[in-house]
Chain A
Amino acid sequence: MAEQTQGRQIQGGPVQTEELQAQLRPAATPRESYVFHWSHLPIYFFLMIGAIFALTPFLYMLTTSLMTLGETINKQWLPHQPRLGNYAQAWVQGNFDRYFVNSILISALTILGLVTTSALAAYAFARMTFPGRDALFVVLLATLMIPETVTFIPNFLMVRGGILPLPGGSWLDSLAALTVPFMANAFSIFLLRQFFARIPSELWDAAQLDGAGHLRFLVTIVVPLSRAALLTVTLLTFVASWNSFLWPLLVTFTPTWRPLTVGLWTFISEAGPETQLLMAGSVIAVVPVLIIYLLTQRQFTEGVATSGLKG
């Protein structure tokens, strides 16, 4: 890959990027060969009960979404004949095509902005010296304590316009209101800083000899080496953005930029007793997150584990 060859050119030393990445990854537990023993049976039993509890609501959502209205009322476990038509009906009735595109756009923009601002700030905190660095970092961490309940009212007024000069006047019911406020947070900066700080300083010395500045070093060496951490930040931001509810509920009045969660909520509030359509709508909202989770499940849980422990 292109970045890696460049990495090797600049170092000019024996350190390989693959090796470095392996070093920077959290240590995996060593695999032992498994031998079944009867005493494990109760453990599996309890773990299975937990798994059944975790999965039942999803299965219930899926089966109900395929039923007829009569079947949902008559306490059926499985639909007599799966009705895929429910999805089409919910999709059209709930205006989901629009909300879907909106949610994708909102998440993508938020991730793009957040990763950029966080990587820059994290790099400054991890690898540059400047007056007030530690104090700034403490202030930054303190912002983690601020509850959304305190900030959403002033933020609403601010986005409505007239308090701070926002570019473009009022942001209500616009893409900006749904993305810009979430394009930076202390948690992501902290997580990336921890990772960036572990990159050996020999690499920076080598890059300097090559005439690279901080920005080039960040883009060509640090970012490719930190793919694991950046992926974690991306995934956590995606989930937070895709699932956000309170704020979009406040700042969207029309379907123009309304995201899927608020769309689903209006659909639920208006659908009445048609349970099968509610569930079909819910399945539609769940599927994208589910697919991404299933694909990246390992990075996801490992990312949460490392970031959670150090946060």
Chain B
Amino acid sequence: MTAPPQRQVQQSPVQPRRRARRQEAWLAYLFLLPALLLIGVFGLFPILYSLYMSVYNWRVRQGDFVGLANYHQLLGSWGGPATFVLGLVLILTAHWLWTGAFAELSARRWWRLPAALALLGAGVAIALSWGVITTHGDAAFLQSVIVTMYYAVLSVPLQIVLALVLAALLYGKIKGQGFFRAVYFLPYVIPVVATAAVFRIIFSPRESSLANTVLGWLHFAPQQWLFDPRPLSQVLFGFQWPGVWAGPSMALATIVLFGVWTYVGYNVVIFLAGLTGIPRDLYEAAEIDGAGSIAQFFSITVPLLSPVIFYVALVGLIGTLQAFNHLYVMRVPSAQGTVDTASINIFDTFYQANNYGLAAAESFVLFFLILVLTLFQFRFFGRKVFYG
């Protein structure tokens, strides 16, 4: 730990330096050991073990090796998933062709034709594969994947837009920035079990509930909220769209509201920190040029904040795709599974049905989806980000 012994310094000047370096390396590994051991045992090893479990018939105790049977049960046999992956590859190919994979040729517009064809093929492949997967796969699990997508697609943009507007307003020359920031951030630190319990009461289907009272003030009919499995499009506009196209249920939309309430403040704090990085002179110059505050927002704030927006969108996407706690606490039987996301479904397969092998396979499918979506987000939006 300390300086090398004196005797060797006298013998040769090169040896001890190397020895000291080696000593430092050993010490560094010693420092790393507790953290890496814990992360390895409880973070990395479980992934391998989960993969191992997913190829066994495993109900509480380990059973027979079944190969990919669990995956087949979830997604049908080979055809569906393979076509789906082909669709993903085609999307990437289309993107690659479009953005000028062959720089010298990209001046010629005809390169866009194969790109468009590839994209078309991707659409067909994914649509076809979805048909195949849903007819042969596990209906409850696939439904939960759809619910997960609804949840993410509704939540992430809402959370970002609201937070961006609030942060931009807060960043103006106003008083009480600290107060508002603290208030907006508050829901994020409070235990979800407690806040979700309040939301269940505020959004109870009783006519006297707070949410329905507010609707009454605005002359709207009372709603069933968390208890309403009907699609939002039907509740609001009376549309009768079939299947997936009908969109998320009223119950899920209510949970999205809860998610927005919880996470907007977190995003506001991060956006505010990002805003401090934008030089004030830019706004002053824009003001001299006669740009209004809305023009300033769209031509200065949004582009210069784009790396932060990208980061928040990424974290938000990963977070919503694996959200569990508040969905678990806020689901009621009347919602008829329309709020059961993939993570809820995995928990049920594990905890209620005690089918550990199948649950592990489900968690891997979810993991794969999260990875793919993150990768796509990087590929398509990562480049549009302006890093100054």
- Tell whether A197 is near chain B: CB-to-CB under 8 Å: no
Asked, given contacts A124-B28, A128-B31, whether A153 binds B350 with beta carbons under 8 Å apart, the answer is yes
Report whether A121 and B201 are in contact in the complex, using a CB–CB cutoff of 8 Å.
Answer: no
- Name the B residues within 8 Å of A185 (CB-CB): 39, 43
Determine the chain B residues whose CB is within 8 A of the CB of A155 once the complex forms: 42, 46
From 58 to 114 in chain A, residues with beta carbon under 8 angstroms from any chain B beta carbon are 58, 60-61, 64, 73-75
- B38 interface hit (Cβ, 8 Å): yes
**Within residues 169 to 201 of chain B, which ones have a CB less than 8 A from any CB in chain A?**
169-170, 172-176, 178, 180-187, 189-195, 197-199, 201
Which of B24, B31, B41, B182 is most buried by chain A, counting CB atoms within 10 A of its CB? B31
Partner of A264, one of B169, B185, B186, B191: B191
Cα separation A149 to B342 with both chains bound (whole Å): 9
B34 and A264 contact, CB distance less than 8 A: no
Does the CB pair A301–B325 fall under 8 Å?
Answer: no
Among B7-15, B127-135, B240-248, B355-363, the stretch in contact with A: B355-363
Interface string of A145-171 (1 = CB under 8 A from B): 111111101111110000110000000
How far, in angstroms, from A250 to B1 measured CA to CA in the complex?
A: 43
Complex Cα gap A25–B347 (Å): 42
Residues of B within 8 A of A175 (CB): none
- Mask of B358-388 contacts with A, CB within 8 angstroms, 1/0: 0110011011001100100000000000000
Residues of A within 8 A of B324 (CB): 148-149, 246
Instruction: List, in ascending order, chain B residues with CB within 8 A of A140's CB.
Output: 36, 39
In contact, B38 and A308 (Cβ under 8 angstroms): no
Nearest CB of chain B from residue A223's CB, rounded to whole Å: 13
Within the complex, the shortest CB–CB distance from B274 to chain A, in Å, comes to 6
**Count of A-B contacts with CB under 8 A?**
285
Interface pick from A1-9, A14-22, A41-49, A226-234: A41-49
Interface size, B (range): 35 or more
Q: Which residues of the other chain, B, contact A117 by a CB distance below 8 angstroms?
A: 34-35, 38
A contact residues vs B (CB 8 Å cutoff):
27, 29, 32, 34-36, 40, 43-44, 46-47, 50-51, 53-58, 60-61, 64, 73-75, 116-118, 120-121, 123-125, 128-131, 133, 136, 140, 143, 145-151, 153-158, 163-164, 180-181, 183-186, 189, 208, 211-215, 239, 242-243, 245-246, 250, 260-261, 264-265, 268, 275, 278-279, 282-283, 285-286, 289-290, 293, 297-298, 300-301, 304-306, 308-309
**Can you sample 19 A-B contacts with CB below 8 Å?**
A46-B166, A50-B183, A50-B184, A54-B184, A61-B198, A75-B213, A118-B35, A145-B374, A147-B321, A147-B366, A149-B324, A157-B356, A158-B42, A158-B46, A183-B38, A184-B36, A289-B190, A293-B186, A309-B273
Ranked nearest first, the 4 interchain pairs of A and B with the lowest CB-CB distance are A305-B273, A213-B1, A154-B46, A75-B208
Further 15 A-B residue pairs, CB within 8 A, beyond A153-B363, A309-B308: A43-B172, A53-B261, A54-B265, A130-B28, A146-B43, A147-B367, A151-B46, A154-B49, A183-B34, A289-B190, A297-B185, A301-B181, A308-B266, A308-B270, A309-B270
